[in-house]
A = this chain, B = another copy of it.
Amino acid sequence: MTIRHTIKTEDYHYKTNIPIRFADIDAFGHVNNAIYLTYFEVARSAYWNEIIEWDWSNIGIILRNSHVEYLKPIMLNDEVYAYVRTSRIGGSSFDLEYILIKVVNGEEQICTTGSTLCVAYDYNAGKPVPIPEYQRKKMENL
A residues near B, CB below 8 A?
1-3, 19, 21-23, 25-29, 32-38, 41-42, 45, 60, 62-70, 76, 88, 95, 115-117, 123
Contacts and interface: CB of A to CB of B under 8 A. Distances in A.
A87 to B, nearest CB: 9
Q: Binding site of A, secondary structure by majority: helix, strand, loop or mixed?
A: mixed
Given A23-B26, A23-B38, A26-B23, A63 B33 contact: yes
For this chain, the copies found in one complex come to 4
A117 B23 contact: no
B27 A41 contact: no
A1 B113 CA distance: 15
A-B pairs, 7 with minimum CB distance: A34-B37, A25-B27, A34-B38, A66-B68, A65-B69, A23-B38, A33-B63
